[in-house]
Amino acid sequence: MNQDYTPLTICTVSRAFLLVFLSKADMIESDNTVQLHSVSESFPLPLVVRIKKYIRVPYQAVVLTRQNLFKRDNGECQYCGSKEDLTMDHLIPRSKGGQTTWKNLVTACKTCNSKKGDLSPEEAGLRLARKPYRPSFVTYLKSTLRMRKEWDPYLMTAVA
């Protein structure tokens, strides 16, 4: 985490340990059931560290890709909930000026996408399960990585 407790990234245990050992970071959470050993000492396993010097980070946007879109929509059709034969669907069709953006794309199964065709969801009689949105970097991290429960309090505050 940054000095102000905002998440920066997820790093390896060895990197986190080195940051703490070299006094560049403070250990916020540790796993006392597992120890790191040197020849003469034992150290707790760092789970959450906060760097001591604030790092200015440019805005981290999640890249719009097919895989990231499917992650955002939990791998299910936003019209019927199916998890089979998924495609990308433009809410406002490209033929009618719709752009390829986070807010104009949803995950759809081939059946619903064919039913919708060149219409808006309303014109085709389809209802969206969720309004499309641009995911934040923290949301992307949470959906991409196997998260530890100890990280939840720090990631929840970043999403709010």
10 pLDDT tier (thresholds 50, 70, 90): confident
State residue 1's pLDDT score. 86
Q: Does pLDDT of 155 surpass 70?
A: no
The strand pairing partners of 110, in sequence order, are none
Backbone torsion region of residue 85, taken as left when φ is above 0, otherwise alpha when ψ lies between -120 and 50, otherwise beta = left
Q: What domains, with CATH codes, occur in the chain?
A: 13-59+136-159 (no CATH), 66-116 (1.10.30.50)
Structure confidence at residue 137 as a pLDDT band (50, 70, 90): confident
Query: Rounded distance, CA 76 to CA 83, Å?
Result: 5
Measured in degrees and rounded to the nearest 5, phi and psi for residue 30 equal: -140, 160
**Residue linked to tokens 């934040």:** 136
36 has which bridge partners?
43
Model confidence band, residue 5 (pLDDT cutoffs 50, 70, 90)? confident
Whether 154 has a pLDDT exceeding 80, the answer reads no
Residue 159 in this model has a pLDDT that exceeds 50: no
Average pLDDT across the chain, whole number: 88
